[in-house]
Amino acid sequence: MSEYSVVFENVSKSFGETKVLHDLSFGIHEGKITTVLGFSGAGKTTLMKHILGLALPSSGEVKVLGKVINKLGEMDLREFRRNFGMVFQYAALFDFLTSFENVAFPIREFTKMSEEDIREKVLSLLDSVGISREAAFRLPSELSGGMRKRVGLARGLALDPHIMLYDEPTSGLDPITTHMVYDLMKETHLSNQSRGFTSIIISHDIHATLKYSDYIVFMEKGKVVEHSDVATFKKSENPVIRRFLEL
């Protein structure tokens, strides 16, 4: 097993004239929680898209679970994405489907599991993120923001991914619900850790990050300016990071 589940090697990305990622080289530790931090526009979401193969580098290579992802064809890439679970900023549930059907969706799409097995799997996933039977059969519009995030998390876990990616999973939530969501991400991580499960979180929330992460990748203007464990990060003398830490 490699030490890293994701490796960036000299990755640069430009959109037209604008260079958004500048020669990134770093690895994301397998089995750990890594948070990507940085001010708005630093390139965090773009970095995440490169991990998923939703954006391709202008130069350099992105290796995920030992495969060079920018060399996979569309079909292989689609299959390869089964390794990922994703939770996006606004939960992005299908609003015409119940919680149950939202979680069942990727299973129906990608597997030939029987209806009975799907039911058991979906209800157990929803239960593990604290969604009751009753809420399982409601529409997203009938759930609170925190509950929608939980359903989003359950859906992200539906195909037993190796890597979970969260892009600002707590934006728009109050501080208490934010901590509940972080607790849930941590629990999810720990209960899957034995199989090398890697969690990658994009966040603005410095306090939650320091509490819940193992490693920090700090981005500034398209560059990784610090990549270290949390204890080392807290002692960073980089003035931008100091400013971030003092928020």
Residues at the site binding ligand ATP, with contacts judged by CB under 6 A = 15, 18, 20, 38, 40-46
- Nearest-approach distance from CB 194 to ligand ATP, in angstroms: 31
Applying CB under 5 A, does 203 fall inside the site for Mg ion?
Answer: no
HEC string of the chain?
CCCEEEEEEEEEEEECCEEEEEEEEEEEECCCEEEEECCCCCCHHHHHHHHHCCCCCCEEEEEECCEEHHHCCHHHHHHHHHHEEEECCCCCCCCCCCHHHHHHHHHHHHCCCCHHHHHHHHHHHHHHCCCCHHHHCCCHHHCCHHHHHHHHHHHHCCCCCCEEEEECCCCCCCHHHHHHHHHHHHHHHHHHHHHCCEEEEEECCHHHHHHHCCEEEEEECCEEEEEEEHHHHHCCCCHHHHHHHCC
- Nearest-approach distance from CB 21 to ligand ATP, in angstroms: 8
- Nearest-approach distance from CB 53 to Mg ion, in angstroms: 17
**Residue 31 or 38 with smaller CB distance to ligand ATP:** 38
x/- string (CB under 5 A) for Mg ion, residues 40-59? ----xx--------------
**Residue 22 or 67 with smaller CB distance to Mg ion:** 22
- Nearest-approach distance from CB 57 to ligand ATP, in angstroms: 13
**Residue 34 or 192 with smaller CB distance to Mg ion:** 34
**Residue 27 or 167 with smaller CB distance to ligand ATP:** 167
Q: Please choose which of Mg ion, ligand ATP, none residue 46 contacts, taking the beta carbon within 5 to 8 angstroms, the exact cut-off set by kind.
A: ligand ATP
**Residue 179 or 223 with smaller CB distance to ligand ATP:** 223
